[in-house]
Amino acid sequence: MEASAADLQSEEILTRLEVAAARQASYAWGIGFFVFDAIAYACGIHLALTAESTGILLPCCISQMLMSNTEYLHHTHPAVRWFRDPTEESFDDHQARVSIHVQYPQPIDWFVHWIMDHTAHHMQPTIPLYRLNATQAKIDSRSENTVQYHFKFSKLLKITRQCKLFDDETGNWTDFKGQPTGVTSELGD
């Protein structure tokens, strides 16, 4: 029995919802862990796992939250369109369109080894981390297609509100119900 177009579309929507749910679950686990630990501490409960949770689980949760956020910021923005099929534009133009250059303050950028200079990494994955900054600067000066912005928590919240699911047919970001989120390519700087 062949699957109908409606069945295939519902499977695709379910898959996108599962990915979004997994992303939210990773944040929820991290936040839940901190809340549980704070409540236990406030109540004076000294659990046998306190040392293990502080020494092992806490760094793992923090690392997971930071890496999840990094991956999200690398590839999600109202101005970025996701593609199901290869495009006809050049490789470099396509990579400039689908990856984002998030600009952190210099000390933070140094601390995270310029990991947010992501367009340069997409164009040439073998560039060493210590050369990403210079390479990204060249790309930004030569390409009009790069998506870049200075990181602020308010922008992260705007991106998170607008970019839940991507509708490939219309080329718009939608909420979890499939309603367009009023996508704009300008978030302000």
User: What are the pLDDT digits (tens) for 96-136?
Assistant: 888 899 999 989 888 888 888 888 888 888 988 888 889 99
Please indicate, yes or no, if residue 189 is contained in any of the structural domains: no
Give the mean model confidence (pLDDT) for residues 54-83.
82
pLDDT at 159 over 70: yes
Provide the domain count of the chain.
2
Q: Are residues 20 and 48 in the same domain?
A: yes
Please indicate, yes or no, if residue 109 is contained in any of the structural domains: yes
Q: Are residues 95 and 62 in the same domain?
A: no
- The whole-number pLDDT of residue 81 equals 83
Q: Are residues 99 and 148 in the same domain?
A: yes
Cα–Cα distances (Å) from 148 to 102, 174, 179, in that order, read 6, 21, 26
Better-predicted residue by pLDDT, 162 or 43: 162
Q: Are residues 109 and 69 in the same domain?
A: no
Strands, E assignment, 42-156: 100-103, 147-150
Q: Are residues 16 and 71 in the same domain?
A: yes
Please indicate, yes or no, if residue 83 is contained in any of the structural domains: no
Q: Are residues 32 and 61 in the same domain?
A: yes
Give the mean model confidence (pLDDT) for residues 11-35.
59
Please indicate, yes or no, if residue 184 is contained in any of the structural domains: no
Please indicate, yes or no, if residue 156 is contained in any of the structural domains: yes
Better-predicted residue by pLDDT, 173 or 14: 173
Range scoring the smallest mean pLDDT among 4-13, 109-118, 179-188: 4-13
pLDDT at 162 over 70: yes
**The last residue of a domain, from among 13, 45, 75:** 75
Better-predicted residue by pLDDT, 128 or 57: 128
Cβ atoms 128, 45 nearer than 8 A: no
Q: Are residues 121 and 69 in the same domain?
A: no
Q: Are residues 30 and 67 in the same domain?
A: yes
Better-predicted residue by pLDDT, 168 or 34: 168
Which one-letter DSSP state was computed for residue 64? H
pLDDT at 84 over 80: no
Q: How far apart are the first and last CA of the chain?
A: 53
Q: Are residues 169 and 95 in the same domain?
A: yes
Q: Are residues 21 and 61 in the same domain?
A: yes
- The whole-number pLDDT of residue 188 equals 41
Q: pLDDT-based confidence at 16, cuts 50/70/90?
A: low
- The whole-number pLDDT of residue 150 equals 92
Torsions phi, psi of 126, nearest 5?
A: -90, 0
Q: Are residues 95 and 169 in the same domain?
A: yes
pLDDT at 6 over 60: no
- The whole-number pLDDT of residue 47 equals 52
Q: Are residues 64 and 98 in the same domain?
A: no
**The last residue of a domain, from among 50, 75, 100:** 75
Among residues of the chain, what percentage have pLDDT more than 90? 3
Domain of 36 in residue numbering reads as: 5-75
